[in-house]
Structure 1
Amino acid sequence: MKKPFVLTTATAADAPSLTQFVNAAYRGDTARQGWTTEADLLDGQRIDEAGLRDMLALPHAAILLCQSETGELLGSFHAQAKGELLYLSMLAVNPAGQTQGVGKFLLSAAEDYGRQHGCTTSKMTVISVRAELIAYYERRGYHLTGTTEPFPTDPRYGIPKQPLVLLVLEKSL
């Protein structure tokens, strides 16, 4: 039986708790409980509160939240419509609750957000050595474009433990 999820949108008031949630999902020992951890690739945080607030303030952007019926935060995903392009980033799912459909729910909601804003293509970047995550997105219709982007050198996004590059994935909406 499919678990019921509630979709909401983050506000600036959510920034402190959402920053903590995202960092726990991506880095450190908590993140190692799930299959999508970056803890072995990067040290430090994934995002700081100021960076999260900046993301919330971007034009035509939202951080979508997946909550349980009781209001527990299960996951989040940043979506920004830029003309016909939907840019997705920072999918975070509670590591203890991964494999429950939260990521699929948020990906679908984010793509719907893009369609509602006139987007025809969805784009994201994934760290090149994250083969399992790339395969996850490929199963959902995304394809590698052959384009790469440098990994950000700003330490507020983490400190790489090895050289990293981002691969660009796209999907027609």
Structure 2
Amino acid sequence: MQLINGAYRSSPEQAGWTSEGHLLSGPRTDAAALQELITKPAATIFTYRDETQELKGCIFLQPQRGTLYLGLLAVQPAAQAAGIGKKLLAFAEVHAKRYACLSITITVLSARPELAAWYERHGFRATGHTQALPVEDRFGVANRELTLVEMRKELD
């Protein structure tokens, strides 16, 4: 939980490039929300640890009718740009194939074009589906209306 909130909502002086703190305030997740996620069918949160076993990254994965939903990809701000995000994406592809998924689907805030561009460089494309970020405060409190853009990567 600390890793996710640190990656998504770091203070400006600690923020990595993935921070959404300028768009949303409050925690990105809490223990109850994580518990709800991992109780979904076939859902899991995988972690990435360095050679000293320090937690550096995580990713939520859930097979859903032929596609693997990917969420909460988080890397400790100080460890960003070390290739951990790429390793987590590669793991997601292996996991998707285990479940015979033909694609991986994510949602990205439209107000984060640099994040969408990072996913595009890794083979994801916008599907044209969008939805308003839920108003509930479980994702944080938005300082304006925000839209989620669905992106998908087709697998070989």
TM-score class, shorter:
over 0.9
Q: 1:135 aligns with which of 112, 117, 123?
A: 117
Matched, 1:157 2:139: yes
The code of the aligned residue for 1:170 comes to R
Q: Give the Cα separation in 2 of the matches to 1:62 and 1:122.
A: 15
Q: 1:68 is matched with which residue?
A: 50
Q: Give the Cα separation in 2 of the matches to 1:127 and 1:157.
A: 12
Structure (1 or 2) with the greater helix fraction: 1
Gap runs ≥5 in structure 1? 1-18
Q: Give the Cα separation in 1 of the matches to 2:12 and 2:138.
A: 19
Q: How does 1:59-98 map to 2 (within 5 A)?
A: 59-98=41-80
Q: Give the Cα separation in 2 of the matches to 1:166 and 1:45.
A: 18
Gap runs ≥5 in structure 2? none
- Give secondary structure in 2 for the equivalent of 1:81: strand
The code of the aligned residue for 2:17 comes to W
Q: TM-score, normalised by structure 1?
A: 0.86
**Runs of 4+ deviating beyond 4 Å:** none
- Aligned-residue CA RMSD (Å): 1.2
Q: 2:93 is matched with which residue?
A: 111
Q: How does 1:50-65 map to 2 (within 5 A)?
A: 50-65=32-47
Quote the offset at 1:32 in angstroms: 4.5
The code of the aligned residue for 2:119 comes to Y
Fraction of identical pairs, as percent: 41
